[in-house]
Structure 1
């Protein structure tokens, strides 16, 4: 059972890395980063704007969007 859990965790880590790479690839076309999240209106920290050029949402909203996407893929 532990080996299966380790494998699932490795797969989840890989998927997360692929999402990050895809976001960075898209960011080249995304234009300038927003200073405020288009989801909730909160400030987007400069560190996030530097790390993800063209970012449009804060970390909390990004996590929510990714969770919704996973739920949709699982049940959709």
Structure 2
């Protein structure tokens, strides 16, 4: 059976959730910046890739290897 402490805890949690949601909604959307060099092999990431995929951190080759590795582990 729920007592007054449970109700108070639920109310506090609800207020915290509302405050966090309001804070996240007020944040400006930041544009992700692409890396100039691949974090996997340190080769330059071509400009067309950086423009097409903002926020990329790997070259096509390293990204393909990571995706294949993740697909293998997902099975």
Normalized against structure 1, the TM-score is what?
0.57
Larger radius of gyration: 2
The number of equivalent residue pairs is: 47
Instruction: From the superposition, tell whether residues 64 and 34 of structure 1 become closer, same or farther in structure 2 (CA, over 3 Å).
Output: same
RMSD (Å) for aligned C-alpha atoms? 1.7
Task: Return the offset for 1:30.
Answer: 7.0
CA distance in 2, matches of 1:40, 1:29: 27
Q: 1:64 to 1:72 in 2, by over 3 A?
A: same
Task: Write out aligned runs for 1:1-76 (5 A).
Answer: 31-74=32-75
Structure 1: gaps spanning 5 or more residues: 1-27
Unaligned runs of 5+ in 2: 1-28
SS at 1:50 equivalent: helix
Normalised by the length of structure 2, the TM-score is: 0.58
- The runs of at least 4 aligned residues of structure 1 exceeding 4 Å deviation read none
* Structure 1 or 2: more helix by fraction: 1
